Amino acid sequence: MLPEEIRALRRDGLTEQGEKTTREIAEKEKREALADFKIEHMYGFNDPKTNELVNLGHEKMLSTIAQRLLDRHGDSIVNKCPRCQKLARTPNAKQCRHCEHDWH
């Protein structure tokens, strides 16, 4: 995943209060010039790319990241039936639920 995607997912896990508190700590670190602004580095409150993802909202952000990963790595991260090319039930499945092909 891209750094901004990792940061956006981290921020997605924060509650509203958690986001507020974490932002405050990030600002405080910045004021105190702490080595490489750790919190900002983790959450990217001032990173335009991270903010763009977060501003999409939870569902849209997840689907945007998922779509980019599929576009980029689809063939290696998605388990498809070698015969009919349809999606397998799980990443480790070796039997197709669509055409019954078995590739054990």
The secondary structure of residue 96, as a DSSP letter, is -
Smallest gap from residue 80 Cβ to Zn ion (A) = 8
Backbone angles phi, psi at 64, to 5 degrees: -65, -45
Smallest gap from residue 78 Cβ to Zn ion (A) = 14
Identity of the residue, 51 or 79, whose beta carbon is nearer to Zn ion in the bound complex: 79
Identity of the residue, 66 or 84, whose beta carbon is nearer to Zn ion in the bound complex: 84
**Contact status, residue 49 vs residue 65, Cβ threshold 8 Å:** no
Smallest gap from residue 81 Cβ to Zn ion (A) = 3
Site residues (CB under 5 A) for Zn ion? 81, 83-84, 96, 98-99, 101
Any alpha helices (H) in the chain, and if so which ranges?
A: 3-12, 16-31, 38-43, 48-54, 58-77
